[in-house]
Chain A
Amino acid sequence: MNPLAIIRGGAPQGCTPHERYLLTRPAWAALATALASETATDLLSLWAEPGMVHAAFWVEGTLVIASCPAADGRYPALSPSRPGAVRFERMIRDLWGLSAEGGVDLRAWLDHGRWPITGPLSGRPTPNTSPPPQPEFLAVEGEGVHQIPVGPVHAGIIEPGHFRFHVQGETVARLEERLGYLHKGTLSLMLGKPARVAARFAARLSGDATVAHSWAYAMAVEAALAVTPPPRAVALRALMAELERIHNHLNDWGFVCNDASFAFPYARCGVLREGVLRAARTAFGHRLMMDRVVPGGVSADLATEGPDAIRAALAEVAIEIPRLLAIYEGHASLQDRVVGTGILSRELAVRFAAGGHVGRASARHFDARVTPGYAPYAGVTAPVLTEGDVDARVRIRVAELQESIRLVGTLLDALPEGELLLPLPQKSGEGVGMTESFRGECLHWVALDDGGLVRAVFPRDPSWLQWPLLEAAIEGNIVADFPLCNKSFNCSYSGVDL
């Protein structure tokens, strides 16, 4: 039987707009086996609640969720057939205390042994009294192999994480990431809160994608409560989301050039981005537009002077993109660093279901704005390349910049009038929401109890499926090219550390 048929054989649980099916343990095991013999079913997310494990799949152009009971603390692992499941399974063990039977990697992930309790979300946390263990890294054998430990405190102004390089001469034989340093207990803080209060945490999952995450969370809550946000709110959400995409793409384009010691584009991108952030502040009262998207609509209207400020800032960007692109393409010293560097194969991008520019630069065509698509987006062009190197990821971003500028213009020209925010009914429900952030799709699932409080939640940042691919992309490259590869991916640390 194919995986989708197995999932649909389960009992529907009433998740909207994409159904969640409760499988029996043997059916879940059969699903794990069926996944091994095909590649058409993408694992997008894997999470848990006390005594239950959930997995979200993308198959035949739709999202579907499967659940497996795990009351005895165990469930059959998906990682032997879907490598993207590895870190989720490690996270599930650390947070919910559920073990993936037959999992390919059973080491701790978020739990560094420094919390006062173990299994904080299991419902039965136990006190932790042992000293933090030394982390274990995968071994590399060979003549002249040595290790370079980097982080968690890095040299630049970036988030903390540990990178363990095994190198032979200048060449990276293996990179292993160790994250979790930013674990703030976000999920525990969301539980039991009213949906709108918990939105503050969705907005702070990863500050650079605050609009996209807030929107995905709001979408999930609205689906759970059968609330349709007003058209003006939907248009303003898209306006903010595209501004967010623009300022991040500008930032990373500049940083990639800067990491190749080519400072001019970095300086220009910095100026342009500052213009966009100031326009965002004029339009929405906050440079990063944090807490503007809330379940039920938006919390702030577009200021009267907003449209002009946005148009002016984006006009500057639009004029400069071709000039910067000419400079980017016209300097051999820069091209030498980005072309052919950090190649990610299509096979790996597909196996991990990598979204965003990481997937699209390696010929995996997925943009949540296109499929499944959501209002108000229509006719979005999502560029795809096949090279899979740093240059391809940069070019995808530059193309997206131009598309986003066009989208903002279209949105501003036809902003609907009307309400901004609807009240939320106090009732139970379960929903899922997916939006396309500048990194890839944000996938939020939420279950509300009878009082409208968050009973269970999992916000999945796109970086979950991109971080492991960075390890693959750097293999065989020189250590000095790591910053370029890293910045071309720009995965979120906070987004996956939760």
Chain B
Amino acid sequence: MSDSPINRLVWPRLARSLFGRPITDPPPAVSDEITAALVERLDHAAQRRLGRSLSIRQVDAGSCNGCELEINALNNVVYDLERFGLRFVASPRHADVLLVTGPVTRNMREALERTRACTPEPCWVVAVGDCAVDGGVFKGSYATLGGVGDVLPVDLVIPGCPPTPTQMLEGLLALLAANAPKQIAAGRKRPEA
């Protein structure tokens, strides 16, 4: 029975999990400056309602899919987004955050606006990637509008082509800190592993 699946697969893995170091990265530091700016954008009532957890709906509004690859990576166990109380949801109706990529193509404008209309208040709009910031390399074409901010009010921008998952995590944690400054501040006092 030494070659049974249990012996081959489960025990070594269990041993590694018990005695090894976690695969997951420690969280990146959150910028106080960005947090303070975000707090200013959010009123008290909204802060109480959102609390320590945010649901995110991703909208690709014209990206080359480079940003989507890196956003997807946030879900892997190395970044493990859910440990922070952040999770991706399938419907804008369940979302607190719209994570928007791309230079906003004219063909996606209505879909983006309707997605925003479906998202309940309070709602953060985060523009991810150089294209979402101002159109990036696709600025000025007949088919693009030139950045998410040209279509929707944007609360936070995360530049990069594409931004790394760590850069995105920094931005999203700043949103969390803005929603629940006390808890995050307390959490940050913990010594880093």
Asked if chains A and B come from one complex, the reply is yes
Query: Which residues of chain A have a CB within 8 Å of any CB of chain B?
Result: 110, 112, 114-117, 120, 125, 152-153, 155-160, 180-186, 188-189, 200-201, 204-208, 210, 251, 267, 270-271, 273-274, 277, 281, 287-288, 290, 323, 327, 330, 492-494
Q: How far is the CA of A385 from the CA of B62 in the complex (A)?
A: 35
CB distance from B25 to the nearest CB of A (A): 9
Other-chain contact of B63, A152, A182, A281 (Cβ < 8 Å): A182
CB distance from B118 to the nearest CB of A (A): 9
Other-chain contact of B66, A112, A116, A184, A207 (Cβ < 8 Å): A207
- CB proximity to A under 8 Å, residues B10-29: 23
Q: How far is the CA of A287 from the CA of B108 in the complex (A)?
A: 27
**25 pairs, CB–CB < 8 Å, chain A vs chain B:** A114-B106, A153-B115, A157-B68, A157-B72, A181-B62, A182-B62, A184-B103, A184-B105, A184-B138, A184-B143, A185-B144, A186-B138, A188-B143, A189-B141, A206-B65, A207-B64, A207-B65, A207-B162, A271-B77, A273-B73, A274-B73, A274-B76, A288-B66, A290-B66, A327-B9
Please tell me if the beta carbons of A270 and B76 are within 8 angstroms of each other in the complex.
Answer: yes
> In terms of DSSP, what is the predominant structure of the interface of chain A?
loop
Residues 79-109 of chain B, each 1 if its beta carbon lies under 8 Å from chain A, else 0: 0000000001011100000000011011111
CB distance from B104 to the nearest CB of A (A): 10
Q: Is B67 an interface residue (CB 8 A)?
A: yes
Other-chain contact of A116, B5, B64, B142 (Cβ < 8 Å): B142
* Given known A117-B142, A271-B77, A287-B164, contact A183–B105 (CB-CB < 8 A): yes
CB distance from A269 to the nearest CB of B (A): 9
Please tell me if the beta carbons of B142 and A120 are within 8 angstroms of each other in the complex.
Answer: yes
* Given known A277-B73, A288-B69, A288-B162, contact A156–B90 (CB-CB < 8 A): yes
Given contacts A153-B111, A184-B103, A206-B65, 11 further A-B contacts (CB under 8 A): A153-B115, A155-B90, A157-B88, A159-B60, A160-B108, A207-B162, A267-B76, A273-B76, A277-B73, A288-B162, A290-B66
Residues of A within 8 A of B164 (CB): 281, 287
Residues of B within 8 A of A159 (CB): 60, 63, 65, 68
Q: Is B70 an interface residue (CB 8 A)?
A: yes
Residues of B within 8 A of A181 (CB): 62, 105, 107-108, 111
Residues of B within 8 A of A120 (CB): 142-143
Residues of B within 8 A of A267 (CB): 76-77
* Given known A185-B142, A204-B137, contact A270–B73 (CB-CB < 8 A): yes
Other-chain contact of B141, A188, A274, A287 (Cβ < 8 Å): A188
Residues of A within 8 A of B59 (CB): 153, 160
Please tell me if the beta carbons of A183 and B67 are within 8 angstroms of each other in the complex.
Answer: no
Residues of A within 8 A of B141 (CB): 184-186, 188-189
Residues of A within 8 A of B91 (CB): 155
Q: Is B36 an interface residue (CB 8 A)?
A: no
Q: How far is the CA of A184 from the CA of B61 in the complex (A)?
A: 10
Residues of A within 8 A of B47 (CB): none
* Given known A152-B111, A153-B111, contact A160–B60 (CB-CB < 8 A): yes
Other-chain contact of B107, A114, A251, A330 (Cβ < 8 Å): A114
